[in-house]
Amino acid sequence: MTQHLADALPTSTGTQPGWWREAVIYQVYPRSFADSNGDGMGDLEGIRSRLPYLKELGVDAVWLSPFYASPQADAGYDVADYRAIDPMFGTLHDADAVIREAHELGLRIIVDLVPNHCSDQHEWFKQALREGPGTPLRERFHFRPGQGADGSEPPNDWESIFGGPAWTRVADGEWYLHLFAPEQPDFNWEHPAVQDEFRSILRFWLDLGADGFRIDVAHGLVKAPGLPDLGRDEQLKLLGNQVLPFFDQDGVHEIYRSWRLVLDEYAGDRIGVAEAWTPSADRTAMYLRPDELHQAFNFHYLNTGWDAEALRATIDESLDSMRPVGAPTTWVLSNHDVVRHRTRFGTLEKARAAALLMLALPGSAYVYQGEELGLPEVVDLPDEVRQDPSFFKANGQDGLRDGCRVPIPWSGDQAPYGFGTGGSWLPQPAEWAGLSVEAQTGDPESTLELYRSALRVRRAHPALGAGDGVEWLPAPAGVLAFRRGDFVCTVNTTDEPVRLPAPGTLLLASGDLADPDVLPADCTVWWQG
């Protein structure tokens, strides 16, 4: 599986647009990245110690999944205090050190923000419970009387994303809304205090030096007036595109316009990135109008299989939808909520080819920790170690998100492979010894060195990075070929070699290119055309 890199690359010249238009952003899942104190759980000091690795990898920014004070009912996406660090991850001083040292290395830091809901241990919610029905603090959440003669039925028929009713009844008889776990009450974003609080939270982290925010459930903040029934028996999907009365309501855009004003108060192109599951790419684009957010995750691309025709259609739709609002298209293959793409696609060869395709497309790309090592999903975790809340709901999601969250291997031939000295909170497979950073570094056939080479070429080549279109070239069935300036990318999504005359000088290939005029099965090749 030998890859090739041309000795001579064109040198990028001229002024590039905002960094976020072409950035490669690396997602760190803190509890699974690096453990500095031997408690089996990754932490901020572990992240800080591994920043040089990310710099060498060649990424531009690092997105940190939540590290806030939290009871960890949903792996930190249940926040009790948005201005404090959970002791399992360290201290505010540790967070400051990560941001400062990242900046010294030329890396930007994007922090995860969770505005749709908080923890049931958040002071506001605890006080709302104490004060009782009809009191001001309850208006900051969605408290409602129940239905039925005795109020024992939920206020409407909404289901939680994690399964079961989206309502929980409290001791005084009222019910509160939680689109996720019962420990995650939804904020009422119609309330001015909620809006004021989150603008203050934005400034807190911007003052600390954060370069932007990944906005969790960005499409969920506003609910349809009156909280109408769904009126149908339909299990919701976390990563779906249904039209729903609590997702993708038009009122969210006023919120993000107010956030953009805050981001623009600060120098250095501070950004907002929306996790927005919408029914269409055009609806996603609405979050990225010039006075709103900067990027949104391209889940339509993530959900596209390894098929040339489907990929071309999704790429075109993605680029076409972003062009009118002047926003960069983003590309992503894996994250902490989905099965790793090596396993989804079925082979390492397809995963490597998909990575080169993604990194060749115009705009910004996201890399989930461990994908640069070619890590597969861990599918055989024992039930007793699983922590995904939806695993414990009979009618919830598949409950298998833990499989993409297993701590990554750094070195050595035995678990925990350099992750830390005290084991790892989820068990790592024995075969990961050969996939560690140490094992792959310097091996020209390794997936890690493929990513390093690809990011080096991407940074150096003036035709790569930012842009809003590709020129499709004629290609056989099952093959994609496109040009960007003097760069050409060819992709064979079939399981057989395809004859295709070399369009230029070889830059990089995801597999062994024995004959430049024959594109191997499940292989992507970059050319200087």
- Cβ atoms of residues 308 and 493 within 8 Å: yes
Whole-number Å distance between alpha carbons of 519 and 104: 42
Whole-number Å distance between alpha carbons of 260 and 273: 11
Whole-number Å distance between alpha carbons of 380 and 371: 19
CB atoms near residue 101 (< 10 Å) = 16
- Cβ atoms of residues 115 and 198 within 8 Å: yes
The DSSP letter of residue 499 is E
Q: How far is CA 197 from CA 189, 193, 291, 414, in A?
A: 11, 6, 21, 46
* Bond before 416 cis per omega within 30 degrees: yes
Whole-number Å distance between alpha carbons of 224 and 243: 12
**216 in active site:** yes
**486 in active site:** no
Q: How far is CA 296 from the centre of its chain?
A: 10
- Start-to-end CA span in the chain (Å): 23
Residue with tokens 């028929």: 157
Find the catalytic residue in 56, 123, 265, 413. Answer: 265
DSSP string, 39-105: SSS--HHHHHHTHHHHHHHT-SEEEEPP-EE---TTTT-S-SEEEEE-TTT--HHHHHHHHHHHHHT
Find the catalytic residue in 43, 74, 216, 292. Answer: 216
Q: How far is CA 180 from CA 78, 117, 165, 401, 437, in A?
A: 10, 8, 10, 15, 35
The DSSP letter of residue 262 is H
Nearest in space to 114 (alpha carbons), one of 275, 280, 287: 275
Nearest in space to 99 (alpha carbons), one of 24, 205, 183: 205
Q: Which helix (H) or strand (E) holds 302?
A: helix 299-302
**Positions marked catalytic:** 216, 265
